[in-house]
Every structure is written in C-alpha cells, then in structure tokens.
Amino acid sequence: MIKEKDGIHLELGEKVVADSRKAVGDINIVSHAHFDHLHRGETEVVCSAETAGIGSVRSGKEIEFSEDHNSVELLPSGHIIGSRAALIEDDKSILYTGDVSTRDRFYLEGFEPVNADILVVETTYGVPAYSFPSQEEIIDEITGWVQDNEKPLLLFGYSLGKAQKIQHHVQEATDRPLLAHGSVIEMNHAVEKSTDLEFRAKPYEGNKDLFKEEGILVAPPGSRKAEWVKRLENKKEVLTAGFSGWAVNNSMGYSRYDRAFPLSDHCGFDELVELVEKVDPERVYTHHGFDEAFASYLRKELGIHARALKKNQATLEEF
C-alpha cells in the first residue's frame, strides 16, 4: 500500500516513510535538505552525508543517519547537493524519486533512471507547457543579461540550491562584486563544508556600498517581503531577476521581475516523460504539481497504469 500523508508512506514488509516531517516509519528516508522534506525528529534516517550535514545546519541539531539500508539504495537525484532518489526492494522494486532533475547542471549530474516495477515520481512540471530550453541556451541568456546590464543586479533564488547555482554561474561570468543575503551565506558555508565548492559572495550586511558599484546581490525570494529588499528593488537603477521553471511562461509571479530565467532544479515535462520511459515501470504514482494531468498523459498516450497520489488515499489494490 502506498499513501501520501505527510510525505510518502509505503506499507511493505517494513513501513517505509519518505520525506515526512515525522519519522514514523521503520525506515525513514530523507531525499534532500529542503525544508518541506526535512524531518524534525530524533530518529535515525536514511539520507546522504551532504543532506545530513546541511540538514543539521538548517534544523540546528545533529541528524543521525546512514547512507544505506539492506532494502534501500540511494541514488543521486540531480535536484540539489546531496539529493537522493531511493530504490526500495520488496516483492517488487519501488523507485521513489524525491525532487528530481535529469539534466547535468553546473556541479550536479542529472539523475540516471534505473529500472523499477513501481515508480513514485514528483510531477511539479507535469504538463507540456513546462518543457525547458537547453541548459546552454538558459546559461547564454543569463550570461548575456548579466554582462549587458552594468547596473546593480538583485537576483532571487532559494537559499539552498538555486542561490548556489546562480552564484556559481555569476562567478564564471563576471568579476563584479558579488554579495549575498545572510540566509544564502549560511547555506554557502554549509555547502562548502560538505563539498569542494567555493563561493566568493560577501554578506550584504557590512558591504552595502559594493552593491551600488554595479554589485550583484543574491537573495531568497522570501526576502522580498523585507523592507530593505523592497527599498533596493524600488531603486530605479536596480534590475531584478528570478530563476525558476515557472519563468517559462512567467507564471507564479515571475512576471514581477525585470527578467526571469527558466533555470529549474526539477525535470521539465519532456524530461519527466523520458524518465518514466527509462524506468519502464508497471505502475506510476505521481505527486506534487501537475500530478493528475501527468498521470492522465501516461495512461492515454503511453498506456501506462498511472494515478495521482492524493492525500490519505490510494493503495496498490485500488488499481
């Protein structure tokens, strides 16, 4: 039986729970260190060392973990540093993707799909409108925009994951002063501890003057509510940019930036279809985003048994 409750619950020989805020399973998997996937308990979890390291910084307490379990194999899922999919061996093999991207980006290698009988896949961008340009095209656009606009630039991306990719790219594209919001600096340090990556951004606090001189500031989208960020955004010489898959058609508020780039940490629609084809499962369960639409596409176009996981329902027997 499989359920979406708080995270994904699999009633197998042992109870396997993935990405739940409460680690209530016999086996508890944490796919990555984004807050919606990080559990708050004391129980030992199955996750990567990077997720445990970054997660400990975020939650303020040491995360007890192991990187495998006799029936669970973790596979790099290409979403953010340390993110993992899980291949669970029971009577049938079950692949849980967590958040996933199959494209190589910056310092991350894309997820390599493996065969499984049952696939549980996130479908954030599960409709054809969200197929993304090639990585080269996206990077060329970002580079061109940064180099053509010698003004203070305010770039918005989530503090863990997107913000590091934006900085990595800006560091390659220009020598201009690079600054970051406090929460981004904190995540930079956590990432630097678990990897050999280095970020040259200085904290905005204490270095404000550098921003005025064609500086580039990276901040999380949530910081737009803060007065000091609003004041910066409202200065007429400052240009803003957002980075997300939603930028493909300026949905989810991405029209409110001066520029928006479709730089995503998730699979686009066509990449999701390719992932499913490579896993070649008997059954697919979708969750997040366009879950119903994508399940319907798989049934109608590819003849695959597929359905969306809805909160507190769905069992294997219901097929």
Q: Which residues bind Zn ion (CB under 5 A)?
A: 34, 99
DSSP structure string for 33-88:
SSGGG---SSS-EE--HHHHHHHHHHHTSPPPEES-BTTEEEEE-SSSTT-EEEEE
Q: At closest approach, how far in Å is the CB of 30 from Zn ion?
A: 11
Q: At closest approach, how far in Å is the CB of 35 from Zn ion?
A: 9
Q: Label residue 143 exposed, middle or buried (CB < 10 Å: 0-12, 13-18, 19+).
A: middle
Q: Which residue, 34 or 165, is less far from Zn ion as judged by CB?
A: 34
Tell me which DSSP letter residue 29 carries. E
What is the rounded CA–CA span in Å between residue 240 and residue 260? 9
φ/ψ (deg, to 5) at 284 = -130, 135
Q: Which residue, 36 or 282, is less far from Zn ion as judged by CB?
A: 36
Q: Which residue, 77 or 223, is less far from Zn ion as judged by CB?
A: 77
Q: State the DSSP H helix or E strand holding residue 221, giving kind and residue range, or none if neither.
A: none
Q: At closest approach, how far in Å is the CB of 84 from Zn ion?
A: 12
Q: Which residue, 32 or 259, is less far from Zn ion as judged by CB?
A: 32
Q: At closest approach, how far in Å is the CB of 187 from Zn ion?
A: 13
Q: Which residue, 144 or 222, is less far from Zn ion as judged by CB?
A: 222
Residue 264 exposure: Cα atoms within 13 Å on the Cβ side? 23
Q: At closest approach, how far in Å is the CB of 23 from Zn ion?
A: 18
Q: At what angle do helices 162-173 and 135-148 cross, to 10 degrees?
A: 60
Q: What stretches of the chain adopt beta strand conformation (E)? A: 2-5, 7-11, 15-18, 27-29, 45-46, 65-66, 72-76, 84-89, 93-96, 118-122, 153-156, 178-180, 202-203, 216-219, 239-243, 259-261, 283-287, 305-308
Beta strand 72-76 with 84-89: parallel, antiparallel or unpaired?
antiparallel
Q: At closest approach, how far in Å is the CB of 25 from Zn ion?
A: 20
Q: Which residue, 83 or 167, is less far from Zn ion as judged by CB?
A: 83
Residue type at position 173: A
Q: Which residue, 30 or 146, is less far from Zn ion as judged by CB?
A: 30
Q: Which residue, 9 or 34, is less far from Zn ion as judged by CB?
A: 34
Q: At closest approach, how far in Å is the CB of 32 from Zn ion?
A: 6
Q: Are 187 and 53 in contact (CB under 8 A)?
A: no
Q: At closest approach, how far in Å is the CB of 125 from Zn ion?
A: 13
